[in-house]
Amino acid sequence: MGYKNTEDSKYKFINPYNFVSVNWNKTNRKTIEDHLQQDRISGFFDCELKTVTPLAIPYERTDENGHGVYSFLRNPKDNMPMIPGSSLRGCIRTVYETVSDSCLVTADVGGQFTKRASMGEAGKPGLLIREKNGWKLYEAERFLIIIDDKGYREFRRPEFSAAKRITRKELETYEYGQKVYFCRGNMYKKNNYEIGTVVKSFSRDKNVENKEEGYLYIGEVPLAKDIKTNKHFESIFKRKEGDTALNVEITKKDIEGLKTIARMYNDSGINRNKMEGAREWYKGVEEKLSRDEEGTVVPLWFKRDDYTLSLASIGRIVYKKTMDDFVDKKRPCKKRNSLCKACALFGMSKDESIGSRVRITDAKMQDPGYKGEEVTLKELGSPRTSYIPFYATINGNPYTFISSYDEKGVRLRGRKFYWHNTQERAYEAERSLPEKERKTERNATMELVEKNKIFKFKVYFDEISRTQYEELKWALTLGDNRIDSNLCYKIGHGKPIGLGSAKIVIVKESIRSLNPYEIKKNDEIQVGNPFGIDKDKDELLTILDVRSTEGKLVSYPFIVNKGEGKENDTASHKWFSDNWDIRPRKEKLEQGLLFPDKAKDKDNLLNAKIFISDVQANDRREILKSQNREKTEYNKGEIYEGEVIGYNNSGKFAQVRLSGGGRASFYDDKHEWDRCKVRVKYLGKKDNYDKWERV
């Protein structure tokens, strides 16, 4: 018996962010003198910021059983709520960079992209050994150490009778990659499959019983100490007898990739299984990888085909391409004689630094006695760059399936911006949940400043050109200097869940002249169009227009009826794994265009509002596997058609998605049928499992 999902159109959503297209092949750079050839202007703008949705600027934290409670940032002198000038500067510069086609100043050019390996990419055990001429990779054998804190019933079986048992607490006295000596025991089998050889005993020193040399592999320990864990084995990796190093070069990029993975596993903001109080995952591996010491050994896993390294059999792997390979001509400026527009105006601090010609003060609310509402917020997710369909295209075509950032022609979609979300209290955690489920370590309670509140601040500019002056006015106001304009910024915490929409206007300008010295004030501000933007078709203005998502559900991918099904089936990662190919159906292609050129006016453009990933996600709505299921009965002896979509943990059994719904599997240890259409025959049930063979 198998299952298939049913569709329900009411679960459509708009992903909280979109991307503005970038010309990756070009950035106009000039010397600072060339940027300032015109008459120079100095002075300041008096600005106001109006909150369009509630605003969160978290400051002091108090702790409630691991759940953070934050006050709003306030001026220590008068206790008025305020927004740091640095926060304003960051979002204003980002807009200026975008419309001026400047560099990506915050791009981490050495940054690496990672993903979690699929079942079909299960790795082999290996040992990375530091030798005189660099790191070398050796194939290894794996032996299982029994971790038995709770008297696991499975360990009562005969093959475990003589095996050494160790508690998690005892294991913590050992180090990752530590050399040990062991004696092998019996083969552990489950459902007639060989899982691995169990360690009979092991010790730090060689003795009469423990003669074989190996290295401890201590991996994921996902739960806190007071919570039961289902992980019952750690491992000893032994270098295969007589084996020489594999014929593969281990590069600096490979080593840095492993360090990146280790950091990600131990960042609870990224790894939701890493809970407070839990032991460090892969403890000490980053330190070992940083050693330049001959004889250092790091147990790990590697892919069978291309020797990609990982810290787990089915764990995170690093793509070969880095951010540097994608940003191309948009790399951050480094030299004073080669500056983009944004770096010339806002400054840079790379190889050669240059000061900013713009200074933005803190924005203060004019209500010293104000007390905002404390609201428990929805859980915020970390950026999932591993989910490629949201972040990349191939040769600009959003309808081409992408399996890897390393594929030829893959490009990042552009600069990331968040949609506005004016739905009432969209940011708040579900009130019907019990308090313990509503307030967790993964979300927070924050004091919010409500909508329609005014903050005041100043923007100083010093010796800028007339062109820079006009462009700065546009960037501050988004080309519309009305306080009730629909063109708004996103500022502060909680942008993906509807917080931080705000409108900035210039209420007065003061221009300083030196000969003679005087300050001319003007409260009739005229904002032109110095960037030549087509307001009816511009991608950025569409994202920054609060009307663009009215009446739509703006949300991260979510799980429906989360209380049903197994915990892993209801985990948020299931949406991403089950919706990897989210290309729209042919009849939806026209609707799926990213800001279609055929839009003749603003209203038509806004009606097109959802970008390609959203349209795809709408058509591939998230429906939990454990709910809305239709039972699929298989007839013994009948032949079914389907497609191989991966392999099981051992890498020996092909997993088949059947055309009529349901799943099947068959033996294929050589991966001869990976991603192929196949026909399989149902043999009936054995040991409560469906049995199949390929025909």
Give the N- to C-terminal CA distance of the chain in Å, as an integer.
20
What average pLDDT does range 329-357 have in this prediction?
91
Is 70 exceeded by the pLDDT of residue 665?
Answer: yes
Cα angle: 122, vertex 126, 129; to 5 degrees: 145
Is 90 exceeded by the pLDDT of residue 669?
Answer: no
Minimal CA–CA distance to 18: which of 543, 544, 597, 401? 543
Phi, psi at 487, each rounded to 5°: -90, 110
Is 70 exceeded by the pLDDT of residue 439?
Answer: yes
> What is the per-residue pLDDT for 190?
77
> What is the per-residue pLDDT for 634?
84
Residues 6+ apart with CB under 8 A from 173: none
pLDDT in tens, 66-75: 899 999 999 9
Residue 236 per-residue DSSP state: E
Distance of alpha carbon 653 from alpha carbon 192, whole angstroms: 14
Is 50 exceeded by the pLDDT of residue 592?
Answer: no
Is 90 exceeded by the pLDDT of residue 9?
Answer: no
Q: What percent of the chain has pLDDT over 90?
A: 34
Phi, psi at 386, each rounded to 5°: -70, -20
Query: pLDDT band at 279, cuts 50/70/90?
Result: low
Q: Which of 83-92, 272-281, 354-363 has the lowest mean pLDDT?
A: 272-281
pLDDT in tens, 625-655: 322 333 467 888 899 988 887 666 556 778 8
pTM of the model: 0.74
Distance of alpha carbon 573 from alpha carbon 257, whole angstroms: 22
Higher-confidence residue of 80 and 626: namely: 80
Higher-confidence residue of 144 and 224: namely: 144
- 3 state SS of 252: helix
Residue 55 near residue 493, CB atoms below 8 Å: no
Domains of the chain are 2-9+555-619 (no CATH), 34-111+328-547 (no CATH), 118-314 (no CATH), 633-694 (2.40.50)
Task: Show the beta-strand stretches assigned E in 233-306.
Answer: 233-239, 297-302
What average pLDDT does range 513-538 have in this prediction?
79
Amino acid at 134: G
What average pLDDT does range 218-244 have in this prediction?
72
Distance of alpha carbon 655 from alpha carbon 234, whole angstroms: 27
Supply the mean pLDDT for the chain. Answer: 80
Is 90 exceeded by the pLDDT of residue 433?
Answer: no
Is 80 exceeded by the pLDDT of residue 586?
Answer: no
Q: What is the dihedral of CA 153, 154, 157, 160, to 10 degrees?
A: -110
Query: pLDDT band at 137, cuts 50/70/90?
Result: very high
Helices (H), 419-515: 435-438, 466-477
> What is the per-residue pLDDT for 604?
35
Distance of alpha carbon 25 from alpha carbon 503, whole angstroms: 33
- 3 state SS of 143: strand
Distance of alpha carbon 359 from alpha carbon 58, whole angstroms: 23
Q: Which of 267-271, 285-289, 471-475, 555-559 has the lowest mean pLDDT?
A: 267-271
> What is the per-residue pLDDT for 674?
65
The percent of the chain in helix, strand and coil, each rounded to the nearest 5, is 20, 35, 50
pLDDT in tens, 401-421: 777 888 888 989 899 999 999
Higher-confidence residue of 454 and 245: namely: 454
Minimal CA–CA distance to 692: which of 642, 618, 629? 642
